[in-house]
Amino acid sequence: MADTRNRILTLLAPGNIVSGGRLAEACGVSREAVWKHIESLRSRGVSVEAVRSRGYRIQGGLCLLNRQAIGKHLLKPVTLTLLEEVASTNSWLLRRLGYSMLAPHVCISEQQSAGRGTKGRAWLSPYGTNVYCSLYWRFECAPYELEGLSPAIAIALVNALGQAGVKGVMIKWPNDLHMAGGKLGGLLVDISAEANGPCDVIIGFGLNMGMPDTLRSMIDQPVADILDIEGMDSDRNAMAACVINGLTGGCEDFAAHGFAYFSQQWEALDLARYRPVRLMIAGRSIVGIAHGVNERGMLRIRTNNRFEEFASGEVSMGIENETVN
């Protein structure tokens, strides 16, 4: 059944109208079976349109992931696992820790059924759009030496996206990528380590690239999308490789130099710098003015005429009706 559904999807992916009869003939099934597979695709978030008396199409088409197409853009060798669907790419790699999995290993999927964001939030992951990717990397250091890893990788990804023509991306501490007033992507870092190392780290990244309008309306904050950029190439394989290059390059540079290698870039990319912010951490609310990060990537906030530094927490901006010193 999955093979037939995937065959139908492949025929519809270019965006052209394909008759039900042609789909049935190509797949060796009845037209009723074609209709059932079309409904299955729709249930997975694929926007298949029925065109009266003509057939079916995916408006605008889909760029499906392809191992060879991704591989030709990669700058460093990685083990690449490409899945059609997975609960989450981070979870897939986490389950394989301790089973002779070699780093670097990348898991990328067409869809996530239980994608995770920060603070346990769901990450909407429709089929055949966006980029859902996780990297497994081993750092030969103690866990405390990974301070600043998350904002460092965010900087590396901004640099990689810039090389692909995605300009104007900013970072909301510690690792959310924003563009044109909306959230473009986000990182999720999972660490498994002994007290003195080494550290097995899985870094997941979700990037909006063709997020359907119907799903954008379900997200509780403004959304930015790669394909909102006029003239941007819609090649998801090239963009997936760009993300992988950013992740692996960022890990290499961090392993060699720590956050110090990235710190000078933070000021230009800091979305919250000198703005009123609220930081929520362990049930505590801290309101103040953001003053960048310290040498370890910790957020600095001026509040009550003194500075405090924080290694974790959730930042919101545009604080209203409160006194900020």
30-78 residue pLDDT tens: 989 889 989 888 877 788 889 988 999 988 788 899 999 999 999 999 9
Average pLDDT (109-126) is 70
Q: How many CA atoms lie within 13 A of 238 on its CB side?
A: 10
Task: Dihedral sign for Cα 71, 74, 77, 81, please.
Answer: negative
CA distance 245 to 160: 7
- Return the CATH number of the domain spanning residue range 67-269: 3.30.930.10
What is the C-alpha radius of gyration for the chain, rounded to an integer number of angstroms?
22
Task: Dihedral sign for Cα 202, 207, 211, 217, please.
Answer: positive
206-253 residue pLDDT tens: 999 988 776 777 777 889 999 999 889 889 999 999 999 999 999 999
CA-based nearest residue to 136, from 96, 184, 181, 177: 96
325 confidence band (pLDDT: 50, 70, 90):
very low
Domain 276-317 bears CATH identifier 2.30.30.100: yes
Q: Do domains 2-58 and 67-269 have the same CATH topology?
A: no
Average pLDDT (182-202) is 93
Break the chain into its structural domains and give their ranges. 2-58, 67-269, 276-317
Task: List Cβ neighbours of 35 (8 Å cut-off, separation of 6 or more).
Answer: 20
Max mean pLDDT range (2-6, 161-165, 318-322): 161-165
Mean per-residue pLDDT of the chain? 89
pLDDT value of position 127: 83
283 confidence band (pLDDT: 50, 70, 90):
confident
What tokens does 325 get? 């010193």
- Return the CATH number of the domain spanning residue range 2-58: 1.10.10.10
